[in-house]
């Protein structure tokens, strides 16, 4: 797909993978609506890279409805919607997890993706075309000890993604699942795991996502590990 002139919405894009994906999409000629709930950081990033900022907390359905309306209000269409916002929790044995944190993670990781996908589907059905990209994780490919809450949230995103892909098969809407291995981003905050330095660079992952979007035949399931 040629990205020149395409309208791309990215959630959780003030930093990390979302920000770099936005930068690459803009370099390829796309109009990017960048969203995040950290308003100051969002505005700063958007101004730096030339995106249109629209603040939204993905765990709030109305924020996402408003984000889609703002994108359509400004650009008349949405060609690509990237559900990127996500949170993680430090490694913990299952029986010691703070369940409020697990619920919050489900609100952001799975409900955020569901709300974003629904808004994108409604607009893309109206257009008869579009691409939804869900940033999942290699944590949705295997069970990982001490990461059961995060893995469960990402397995849920994977199941949702595979299901809507089949549901939308005849609609002109493509649904792509991205499964990156661990990346050096702000996801871990001050709880960086010991092997953090060996993680993938988000630039490498963002490049694989954008190149996949630009390919004539896009991969529906893209697992990104180090080359
Ligand atoms: N890093 C990894 O190892 C890794 C591996 C595989 C998959 N992923 C996935 O990749 C995606 C991007 O993560 P990242 O690694 O780039 O992390 P990141 O640097 O923390 O970026 C995620 C962004 O989403 C924002 N965000 C958090 N909660 C939000 C909400 N409720 N509404 C809107 N924005 C919200 C964050 O804001 P704050 O910074 O203010 O929280 C941050 O700007 C996530 O879905 C993550 O699960 C990450």
Q: Of how many residues is the chain composed?
A: 227
Give CA–CA dist 189/89, Å, rounded.
10
Q: Which residues contact 69 (CB under 8 A, 6 or more apart)?
A: none
Q: Which residues contact 196 (CB under 8 A, 6 or more apart)?
A: 182, 184, 188
With respect to residue 132, please indicate whether it lies within any of the assigned structural domains.
Answer: yes
With respect to residue 80, please indicate whether it lies within any of the assigned structural domains.
Answer: yes
How many helices, marked H, and strands, marked E, lie in the chain? 7, 7
With respect to residue 38, please indicate whether it lies within any of the assigned structural domains.
Answer: yes
Structure tokens at 104: 């919050």
Give CA–CA dist 219/153, Å, rounded.
23
Give CA–CA dist 84/122, Å, rounded.
19
Distance 10 CA to ligand 1 centre (A): 11
Pocket test for ligand 1, best of 22, 62, 85, 226 (most atoms within 8 A of CB): 85
Structure tokens at 33: 């609506």
- DSSP conformational letter for 50: T
Give CA–CA dist 145/92, Å, rounded.
9
Pocket test for ligand 1, best of 23, 84, 87 (most atoms within 8 A of CB): 87
Give CA–CA dist 119/143, Å, rounded.
31
Residue 117: which CATH number? 3.40.50.720
Distance 111 CA to ligand 1 centre (A): 14
Exactly one of 150, 179, 196, 199 is catalytic; name it. Answer: 150
With respect to residue 1, please indicate whether it lies within any of the assigned structural domains.
Answer: no
With respect to residue 182, please indicate whether it lies within any of the assigned structural domains.
Answer: yes
What element of type H or E holds 213?
helix 202-214
With respect to residue 121, please indicate whether it lies within any of the assigned structural domains.
Answer: yes
With respect to residue 124, please indicate whether it lies within any of the assigned structural domains.
Answer: yes
Q: Are 69 and 54 in contact (CB under 8 A)?
A: no
Pocket test for ligand 1, best of 9, 11, 17 (most atoms within 8 A of CB): 17
Q: Note if 150 is an active site residue.
A: yes
Residues with CB under 6 A from ligand 1: 11-12, 14-18, 36-38, 57-59, 84-87, 108, 135, 137, 180, 182-183, 185-187, 202
With respect to residue 107, please indicate whether it lies within any of the assigned structural domains.
Answer: yes
Per-residue pLDDT of the chain (227 residues; tens, 9 = 90+): 999 999 999 999 999 999 999 999 999 999 999 999 999 999 999 999 999 999 999 999 999 999 999 999 999 999 999 999 999 999 999 999 999 999 999 999 999 999 999 999 999 999 999 999 999 999 999 999 999 999 999 999 999 999 999 999 999 999 999 999 999 999 998 888 899 999 999 999 999 999 999 999 999 999 999 87
**Domain span holding position 134:** 7-224
- Listing DSSP states for 123-177 in one string gives HHHHHT-EEEEEE--GGGTS--TT-HHHHHHHHHHHHHHHHHHHHTTTTTEEEEE
- Adjacent-strand bridge partners of 180: 224
Number of domains in the chain: 1
Atom number, ligand 1, closest to the C-alpha of residue 15: 43
């Amino acid at each position: 797909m040629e990205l020149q002139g395409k309208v791309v919405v990215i959630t959780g894009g003030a930093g990390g993978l979302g920000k770099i994906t936005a930068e690459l999409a803009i370099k390829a000629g796309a109009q990017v609506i960048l969203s995040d709930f950290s308003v100051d950081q969002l505005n700063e990033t958007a101004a730096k890279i030339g995106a249109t900022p629209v603040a939204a907390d993905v765990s709030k359905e109305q924020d996402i409805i408003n984000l889609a309306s703002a994108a359509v209000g400004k650009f008349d269409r949405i060609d690509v919607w990237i559900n990127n916002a996500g949170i993680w929790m430090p490694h913990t044995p299952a029986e010691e997890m703070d369940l409020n944190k697990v619920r919050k993670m489900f609100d952001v990781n799975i409900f955020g993706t569901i709300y974003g996908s629904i808004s994108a589907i409604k607009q893309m059905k109206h257009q008869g075309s579009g691409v939804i990209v869900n940033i999942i994780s290699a944590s949705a490919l295997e069970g990982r000890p001490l990461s059961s809450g995060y893995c469960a949230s990402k397995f849920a995103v994977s199941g949702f993604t595979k299901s809507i892909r089949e549901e939308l098969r005849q609609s002109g809407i493509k649904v792509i699942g991205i499964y990156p291995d661990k990346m050096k981003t702000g996801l871990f905050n001050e709880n960086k795991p010991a092997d953090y330095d060996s993680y993938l660079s988000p630039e490498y992952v963002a490049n694989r996502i954008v190149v996949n979007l630009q390919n004539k035949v896009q991969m529906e399931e893209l697992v990104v590990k180090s080359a």
